[in-house]
Amino acid sequence: MHHKILCLCVGWALCLALLLPQPLRALEVAEKEAAPPPDDNYTLPNAPITDRVVNVHTAATTRKGALTLVIDHRAHKTFLSGKDAWFDYLGLDAAGMKIGLGLRYGILDFLDAGLYRLSSGRDDFDVYEFDVKARFLQQDDHWFNAALRTGFTWFVRPGVRDTMGFYSQLLVDHRFFRCLKIGTGLAFHTASANDEKRLSDESVSAAVLAHLEWRPIRQFSIGAELAANVAGYASRYPDFAFSARFLTYRHAFALVVANTQYMSADGITTNSWRHWDELVFGFQILREFTIVK
């Protein structure tokens, strides 16, 4: 079944290629001439547009003509393990780490598309996620931003038939005083997953989302998010995460503390078995490239 994944990824890449008329060798020239609107970057010139606080998406979409690369790492072993935390590099050296790799492309000012791969970690399967996000309300005209994100998840396990699930998210947020963003949303997945779920459990899950991001200075932000299950399969504790993000020219780096390893749409609706004494450490790297001016 892996050839299906390969064909799908190649097809997705070809679709993106059709939207990228400028050659990649002109990328850096276009970057230097472009700057995101102040409303999308809290007035920091040429900062990347970050459409996730940690794992939860906001109503923001990637700038038109821009390609965003995101790399996520999340440890399995808690960093609250006493003396072992130093030797395990806060859990990143221990087994079971999850790695996420994603791309998003801004098709229009209000529309983008993305793909995301999440490694198996302790699970038996890898996750491939494909989605489209459309912003249909903007704060300048309607007091708040609102977007609909929808797509499908492909679960791949060697030697076993692949499975799929579909998801949809309604995302709403508002920026106060140009430095504080507060948002909420609803998320639904037909084939949710986490490391406690079994085949006999209910397949669907739904969650309420909440997040805030405070940027005290233009080059730094602090974020917090919550995803609490309200229907379908769920573990005991709501997912939560905190981030400290550093922003420079078209680049962002975030340190993350969370009670879940799961960063894709299927995982944020299921809650987590981890509580405050089982927090894990991770980080996120984001790089934005201007492909079409």
If one compares 134 and 93, the residue with the highest pLDDT of the two is 134
Q: How far apart are CA 290 and CA 293, in angstroms?
A: 7
User: 223 near 215, Cβ under 8 Å?
Assistant: no
- Give the chain's mean pLDDT: 85
pLDDT band at 83 (very low <50, low <70, confident <90, very high): low
For 32-36, 153-157, 211-215, which range has the lowest pLDDT when averaged over its residues? 32-36
Q: Which helix (H) or strand (E) holds 149?
A: strand 145-156
Q: pLDDT for 164-210, tens place per residue? A: 999 999 999 999 988 899 999 999 999 998 888 888 889 999 999 99
pLDDT band at 35 (very low <50, low <70, confident <90, very high): very low
pLDDT band at 89 (very low <50, low <70, confident <90, very high): low
Does the structure show a pLDDT above 60 at 8? no
Task: Find the mean pLDDT for residues 110-120.
Answer: 93
- CA angle (74, 78, 79) in 5-degree steps: 95
Does the structure show a pLDDT above 50 at 18? no
Q: What is the pLDDT of residue 30?
A: 45
Does the structure show a pLDDT above 90 at 42? no
Q: Which domains does the chain have, with CATH numbers?
A: 2-290 (2.40.160.40)
Report CA Rg, the chain. 19
For 17-21, 185-189, 228-232, which range has the lowest pLDDT when averaged over its residues? 17-21
Task: Find the mean pLDDT for residues 256-272.
Answer: 94
Q: How far apart are CA 100 and CA 111, in angstroms?
A: 22
- CA angle (275, 279, 285) in 5-degree steps: 135
pLDDT band at 77 (very low <50, low <70, confident <90, very high): confident
If one compares 88 and 34, the residue with the highest pLDDT of the two is 88
Q: What is the pLDDT of residue 21?
A: 43
The model scores a pTM over 0.85: no
Q: Could you tell me where the DSSP H helices lie in the chain?
A: 2-18, 27-33, 38-41, 84-87, 139-142
Quick count: other Cβ atoms within 10 Å of Cβ 14? Answer: 9
pLDDT band at 226 (very low <50, low <70, confident <90, very high): very high
Among candidate residues 249, 292, 263, the one with its CA nearest the CA of residue 76: 263
pLDDT band at 270 (very low <50, low <70, confident <90, very high): very high
Q: What is the pLDDT of residue 230?
A: 97
For 106-115, 128-137, 155-164, 247-256, which range has the lowest pLDDT when averaged over its residues? 155-164
If one compares 75 and 84, the residue with the highest pLDDT of the two is 75
